[in-house]
Amino acid sequence: MADLRVPSVQHLARNWNQQPTAIARALVQLARNPPHFNYNPLYAAVQDMLVLGVPYDEVEKGIRRIKRENVRQNLLSVLPLIRNHFSDVSPDFYQTVGKRYYPVGRGLMVPFEPPLIYGVGGQLYFPWFSFWRTNPLAKERLALFVTLVDEILMQDPDLETARFEILDFSCPGPKQERTLRVVDARDIIRLDDRRKVEMLECFAEGYFQAVAELRGAPASPRPEERPDSRSPDPDQPGLFD
């Protein structure tokens, strides 16, 4: 059986859909065709430049040692944007944050692991890095993500005053280069509790439908779902695209 990992809070939001069957399809596809790279070298690059003061040229050389060309070029398309954003930042402190879990429903606990926090002049900053090239979080999916993160931060006295920013490194249009768009989470309207619960219940239903399908068991759709709801959704992004 293909392995279905529990998605993170960010991936939950990005793969949310009005129909649980569409969520299930996306998760099954991911389990059967998992990604073969990650952006961890960029998090290490942030720490090297921001904390250790490693020159940019040295950090770039490290990325260029990555053998797979498509992965190497993808990371190099982001690295200068990271350098420019943090070039004038001199943190008083920098630290990583331990993993937390958010209860979605039906026993499903979704992990949340902030990459880092840092402080400048008494202000705590919590940057969230969104490295998707296309289809970044937007509209209700973005509101869901920010709402959940807000709740998690408010449960931690050390993080509740942090300035939450989303660093969006996506391309503004087809065949265009990546840019950096900094989104202040304070500008995002939060979901009310009723809508949040509805969306989480929908995701949990889709997740367990995916688990059942991968185990070879039938997964029954909700009665209110129409038969044609199983048709592909062109706006539904992959988990790590």
Report CA Rg, the chain: 19
pLDDT for residue 3: 79
pLDDT tens for the chain, residues 1 to 241: 567 889 999 999 999 999 999 999 999 999 999 888 889 999 999 999 998 999 999 999 999 999 999 999 999 999 999 999 999 999 999 988 889 999 998 999 999 988 899 999 999 999 999 999 999 999 999 999 999 999 999 888 888 889 999 999 999 998 899 999 999 999 999 999 999 999 999 999 999 999 999 998 544 454 444 333 333 333 333 333 3
pLDDT for residue 234: 31
Phi, psi of 163 (to 5 degrees): -85, 110
SS (HEC) of 121-189? CCEEEEEEEECCCCCCCCHHHHHHHHHHHHHHHHCCCCCCCCEEEEEECCCCCCCCCCCCEEEEHHHCC
Q: Where are the domains of the chain?
A: 9-219
pTM confidence score: 0.86
Q: Which fold has domain 9-219?
A: Lambda Exonuclease; Chain A (3.90.320)
pLDDT for residue 25: 96
Phi, psi of 121 (to 5 degrees): 55, 35
pLDDT for residue 235: 33
pLDDT for residue 138: 95
